[in-house]
Every structure is written in C-alpha cells, then in structure tokens.
Amino acid sequence: MGASLAAMTAHSQLMTGGAMHEAMSAQLSDSYIHSTLSPAPDHAWSLSVELAAVQKNWRKAAHDALLGRHTNRLAYRRDPVQWRPAASRFNGAVHVQLIKPGRALHLIARAVEQSAQARFQCRELHEWLHDSLRWTDEQALRGDGLDIRTLGLPYPARALLRFLAPWSRQQRLNAIGLHKVLAAKEATGIRDAPALLAITGPRYPKAVYAAGRAMLEAWTSLNSDGYAVHPYYVITDMVNRLRADRLDTGLASLVQASEVALRAALPSMPSDHQLHMLLRTGRPLADVPRSVRRPADQILMAEFGRLASH
C-alpha cells in the first residue's frame, strides 16, 4: 500500500503514515514491513508488507488491541493517570512526555485556546470540518468522515453546529466573539484533563513519521490499559500553517502567542523541535460510539484480494 502526498498536508499525512506503519509493526515483526520516504518537497511515503508473513506471523493480541484503539471526546474522571510512556525506539527523534495537572498543563490549555480561536476564524478549516461531518447513521456507516455521535454534543450544541455550516454565518457570529466562546470550550477539556501526552521532536519528515508511530503506540497502550484518549492537533496545525505562510496575516499574532505559551510549558523542547501531537487522557466516564472502520479492501491494494481468496 502507498500514498503520495501534497506538501501542504504533509505533516498530518506523515503522522498518519507513521501510525499505519506502527499498526502493522505491532502485528508483525518490522522485518516484513518496508517503508520509504522520498526527500522534500513532497515527502511521499510508501508502505508495503509481505503478505505470506501476515498469514504466518500475525500476533492476535496486538491485533485485538489495535481494534480497541479509539477516540473518546467526552469528559474524563479526575483520577490520576498512572500510565508511563515506553522507552523511545526512535533514536531521540521522538519525545513522549506525560504532563500532569499544574502550571505546564494550564499553559498548554492557553495555547490550545489561542490556536483554536485562530482555527475558528479560518474558512478553509471551517469548510473542511463541515464537509467531513456525517449526520445520519447511513452516512456514518460509509466510514469516510466524522460521525457526529462521536463528538458527544448535547442536542442544542449539535443544532448550533448544523446552523453554523455556511461560513457566512460563522463569520458573522465571529464578529461578536463566537470563535472565543468555542475556543474556550475546547480548552476546558484540556484544563480539566487528568493528564496530557505531548509528542514532540524535530520537523524533518522522518521524525514526523516516527512521531506518528509513537502516537499510535502510546494511544493503543493507553486504551489497552483502560484510559480514554482524545487527540488535539490544533496547535500543531496552526503553527505549521503559520510557518508555511498559509494563514491569514490577521491570525498570526494569536498563533505566535499560542506557540510562546506552548514553549513556556515545555521548556526543554529545543527550538528546532515542534509539538507533533497532543493527547488528552484519563479514565473514561462513559464509553463512546466507535467510528466505523473502512473495509480494508477499500484501502489496501490489490494483493489483499489475493490473500483473502486463498
């Protein structure tokens, strides 16, 4: 299987590529998995796996753990998180830091709020979100978007989200501060979190890919240990857009302030490293509806069909 990427989405796609690699590697030895990453500018990656090895060496426990991995966007219990990150396997290219309640966590909540204020004022991201929302069971079953039920929104908030779909409405209400209200709500989840996981490292493509691997490893391990996980990509996305000159100039100061707050929270992060992913974690208060998994044969290439027919 493989993918070719546009530079503009390279970071999230590289993270996803790394996560796919890790999902395969957890079920098989790395020696059956071949990945390549082409040099800049388009950072294309490809991933392939020896199918004969899948049949012989498949690790069922790891497979079950992967199927149990999921996103929980609801509130969590306040109990302390006892989980510890695994030792880094990526030669210092990825750092996974567990952040407990305290000053650093508060600074990160501020950084999320500032970046989210910018995001709610960004037309491209607004339209992307609304295009990806799936409102009915029939739409959600296609497995190609964000099932509205997984957001855990009470009915009035759902209705507001639907009302806000046309950008012109969001824009008019932003003029009286709606983006601030929505961003404050988003940051509350972080402020109240029993713990956060910050995945950081250098910006070069192989390090981002490795961060995707570390993200999936930590996420699966947390879920297996009974902890809920909710990823927050907003700081990473906004800071990357700022750096790549893909942000309205009017939003730059908010994102710069967000980066300052983040760096104050993570003082040991070198200046040439960045936040790749932030995960909120804790014991779940309630289970959530699970996103539908797309049938593998819609994603994998032709060889999978041959394996299935054996």
Ligand X SMILES: Cc1cc2nc3c(=O)[nH]c(=O)nc-3n(C[C@H](O)[C@H](O)[C@H](O)COP(=O)(O)O)c2cc1C
- Name the residues that contact ligand X, by CB under 6 A: 12, 15-16, 19, 70-71, 73, 146, 230-234, 290-291
Please, what is the minimum distance in Å from the beta carbon of residue 20 to ligand X?
A: 10
Please, what is the minimum distance in Å from the beta carbon of residue 69 to ligand X?
A: 7
Tokens, residue 279 = 């995960």
Please, what is the minimum distance in Å from the beta carbon of residue 74 to ligand X?
A: 11
Please, what is the minimum distance in Å from the beta carbon of residue 219 to ligand X?
A: 8
Kindly report the number of other CB atoms within 10 A of residue 212's CB atom.
Answer: 26
Task: Name which of 32 and 111 has its Cβ closer to ligand X.
Answer: 111
Please, what is the minimum distance in Å from the beta carbon of residue 147 to ligand X?
A: 8
Please, what is the minimum distance in Å from the beta carbon of residue 91 to ligand X?
A: 22
SS3 93: coil
Tokens, residue 207 = 């390090």
Beta bridge partners of 284: 76
Tokens, residue 106 = 């508060």
Please, what is the minimum distance in Å from the beta carbon of residue 300 to ligand X?
A: 17
Task: Name which of 16 and 25 has its Cβ closer to ligand X.
Answer: 16
Task: Name which of 32 and 259 has its Cβ closer to ligand X.
Answer: 259
Q: Length of the chain in residues, anyone?
A: 310
| Alpha carbons within 13 A on the beta-carbon side of 155 | 0
Which residues fall within 8 angstroms of residue 110, CB to CB, at 6 or more apart?
Answer: 187, 258, 261
Which residues fall within 8 angstroms of residue 238, CB to CB, at 6 or more apart?
Answer: 115, 118, 119, 247, 251, 255, 258
Which residue number has the CB closest to ligand X?
A: 233
Task: Name which of 16 and 258 has its Cβ closer to ligand X.
Answer: 16
Task: Name which of 93 and 112 has its Cβ closer to ligand X.
Answer: 112
Q: Do residues 120 and 179 touch, judged by C-beta distance below 8 A?
A: yes
How far, in whole angstroms, is CA 35 from its chain's centroid? 21
How far, in whole angstroms, is CA 80 from its chain's centroid? 23
Task: Name which of 16 and 121 has its Cβ closer to ligand X.
Answer: 16
Query: How many angstroms separate the CA atoms of 198 and 215, rounded?
Result: 9
Task: Name which of 73 and 203 has its Cβ closer to ligand X.
Answer: 73
